[in-house]
Amino acid sequence: MSTSPKALLEGGPEDLETRIVPITPPGVELRVQTGSGYERFKVTSRWRDTPEGSLPVYEWVAHVDAKR
């Protein structure tokens, strides 16, 4: 198991490869690359138990097209 900080992604496209992602630095908005751009996720105050331990929840905000 990796010791780098991770987060649980909530919402957004159902076809994201993974819902548990590394976060660097913690507490900052995430951008997850997708085929046509990226998905934006914002940090929440919530935590959830996962197979990788208790992780902060990041909530989907929007899709941003790469053409912007």
Q: Tally Cβ neighbours within 10 Å of residue 39.
A: 19
Q: Is 47 helix (H, G, I), strand (E, B) or coil?
A: strand
- Identify the band that residue 3 occupies on the pLDDT scale cut at 50, 70 and 90: confident
Q: Is residue 1 part of a domain?
A: no
pLDDT level of residue 6 (50, 70, 90 thresholds): very high
Radius of gyration of the chain (CA): 12
The tens digit of pLDDT for each residue in 7-52 reads: 999 999 998 989 999 998 878 899 999 888 999 999 999 999 999 9
Task: Quote the pLDDT of residue 35.
Answer: 83
Task: Give pLDDT, residue 1.
Answer: 52
Q: Is the pLDDT of residue 67 over 90?
A: no
Domain assignment present for residue 60? The answer is yes
Domain tally, the chain = 1
Token pair of 41, please?
Answer: 């996720």
Sheet holding 20-22, edge to edge: 20-22, 6-10, 53-65, 37-50, 30-34
Domain that holds residue 34: 6-65
Q: What is the spatial distance between Cα 66 and Cα 37, in angstroms, rounded to a whole number?
A: 4
